[in-house]
Amino acid sequence: MRRTIWIIFLGFSFSIFSLGQSWGQSTPPKKTPDLLTQGKKLYEQNCMTCHGPKGDGKGPAGVLLKPPPRNFDRPLDQWTYSKGDLKKVFDVISKGVPNTGMVAWSHLSEQNRWALVYYVTGFASPPTKKK
């Protein structure tokens, strides 16, 4: 009897742990031309005012922000909060950045946020070569 209870307890604990690991984690959708088109539309509607049409952080509202908006033209591995990790770019879009003008866009669907990730990372210049 004790052994059965112990096995049930371990199974239940493992199930709860596994569920906890998967909650709140987004699996990126495949990058497609349609998703990039969606990202461009969302960028133009929601991001261009601060980040500018070229993604350089020089949008009309962006020039007034301190600190200034992210310049997406820099190599992706040099982006302050993501360092080249697409999941971290997704997290910045989803949660925003405290004490900056970057607000959370969590009201957008996950697919829309991934569309933005793929679109804005397209502005990035190639990584710098290490000497």
Residues near 124 by beta carbon (within 8 Å), at least 6 away in sequence: 72, 73, 74, 75, 76, 79
Give 16-19's long-range contacts (Cβ < 8 A, gap of 24+): none
Q: What is the pTM of this model?
A: 0.77
Asked if residue 126 is part of any domain, the answer here is no
In the chain, the number of structural domains is 1
Taking the C-alpha atoms of residue 29 and residue 115, their distance in angstroms, rounded to an integer, is 9
Taking the C-alpha atoms of residue 51 and residue 119, their distance in angstroms, rounded to an integer, is 13
Confidence of residue 26 (pLDDT cuts 50, 70, 90): low
CATH of the domain at 52: 1.10.760.10
Taking the C-alpha atoms of residue 87 and residue 44, their distance in angstroms, rounded to an integer, is 22
Asked if residue 90 is part of any domain, the answer here is yes
Domain around 95: 24-121
The one-letter amino acid at 107: H
Asked if residue 3 is part of any domain, the answer here is no
Mean pLDDT of the region 16-34 = 64
pLDDT tens per residue, range 37-88:
999 999 999 999 999 999 999 999 998 999 999 999 998 888 888 888 999 9
